[in-house]
Amino acid sequence: MTITAELRYLSQSDLKQLGADHSNAFMCAIEEGLQLHAKRQFTQPLKPYLRWPDAPHIADRIIAMPCYLGGDNPIAGIKWIGSRHHNPTKHQLPRASAVIILNDAETNYPVAILEASLISAMRTAAITGIATRYLAKSDFREVSIIGCGPIAQTQVQTLLEQYPQITHVHLYDLFPAAADKLISQFAPRFPNVNFTIQASAEAAVRLADVLVTCTVSDAPYIPFAWLKRGCFVSNISIMDIEKDVFLKADKVVVDDWDQSNREKKVINQLVEEGLFSREQLHAELGDIVSGEIKGRDNDDEIILLNPMGMAIDDIVCARWFYQAALAQQVGTRLPLF
């Protein structure tokens, strides 16, 4: 990596110019990041949550997510991601915003600042995309999405871009207008997919070969009894799945055990209650992607992925776009001195 005393700023428009409005680059980058995770070629401190008293909602926080990535092109970085639940209604802004700072691993000088809300959303969807390759039935056809807001949009986009065999997308949201909006966004682009709005979360869950939770729920509501045999659950929003699913699923997978077993999330609650442990975990996702541990053994298994979200995901994607920006001379160069 060329060492210069300047920053390259990449706006969301710059990132889209480099391909960030499609899932392909994120799938490649995330797979690379998971391989590095499996090889332990990273340093990733536990992410702190910054909250204050007048921000009572579970989604009201700022998170710092630092990471060093090794491999052929070592780099360090941090994502600083803020969220306020009232942003859409009170300020007509997206709920979450983010920036990523990349630092050269030789000098520790900052080399790039990237707008990161798009990266954050698309890398989260790519986790589902990659995991689906290893943990879903190979002939799956029906996807169910619980919650139809911004999280769902990139999840649906990635799954439909990467898996053309999908025939049905079942939607449920507490606000049907959100489901209508999602359908209007994707139905014209994917005319061979049947989009349906279900009357309840239970109805949507029971139909799923692949289930993705995309809510801001602070309490579980999806029990094991709703899941059909062979279902792969990508528990993106973390708090939706009842404890009995962790205990009864054939396999439970996380992205990173240490990151997942904290913050009083469901898996952390089970550990503290003595009902779950790392020994009961099937694998971390990187170990499956790297081939160290097998993912799905048969079409009857119910498999739960509980990804807390890793800084690795953000930094490996940011590195991909930073390198692409250097090669294509995209972005704004800002002198440090």
> What are the residues whose beta carbons fall under 8 Å from the beta carbon of 168, sequence distance 6 or more?
141, 142, 143, 193, 194, 195, 196, 207
* Phi, psi at 68, each rounded to 5°: -110, 130
8 Å CB contact between 283 and 135: no
Nearest to 217 by CA among 281, 149, 170, 156: 149
Q: Assign 39 to helix, strand or coil.
A: coil
Catalytic residue among 16, 47, 79, 264: 79
How do strand 42-43 and strand 142-146 relate by DSSP bridges? unpaired
Q: Specify the amino acid at residue 208.
A: A
Residue 79 known to be catalytic: yes
Residues 198, 201, 207, 212, CA torsion sign: positive
Nearest to 133 by CA among 287, 27, 214: 27
Give burial (CB, 10 Å; 0-12/13-18/19+) of 185. Answer: middle
Residues carrying an active site annotation? 79
